[in-house]
Amino acid sequence: MRDGFMTPPKHVNFEAKKLFGEMGRIIDGSIAYIHLKGGGPTEPHTHGHDHLFIVVKGEAKVLLGDEEVLIPENEAYLVKGTIPHSVWSARDEETVMIGISVR
């Protein structure tokens, strides 16, 4: 495990580190290293805030209700928190992603 990182509950092969706290409409931000076949949570979840996901390396797959959204490297996608969701590495390599929680 990388220094300062942790694995959230119900996640697999997933390390995350909070980058900053609330700033205006931004609640917080984290960087995640999603290892091969990793992601989570294992059961899609919902909450009152949204996620802005930015993929720095690799490609992420967001399971969003009945939909699957691919976020390629150096792209971003806003996930509505009220739709059941989870996020996974979409390639046979580590995915590096920044997640920003927003109101």
Per residue of the chain (103 residues), give pLDDT as tens.
Answer: 888 999 999 999 999 988 878 767 999 999 999 999 999 999 999 999 999 999 999 999 999 999 999 999 999 999 999 999 999 999 999 999 999 999 9
| Domains present along the chain, CATH in parentheses | 12-102 (2.60.120.10)
Distance CA 99, CA 35 (A): 16
Terminal Cα distance for the chain, rounded = 30
**Separation CA 72–CA 80 (nearest Å):** 19
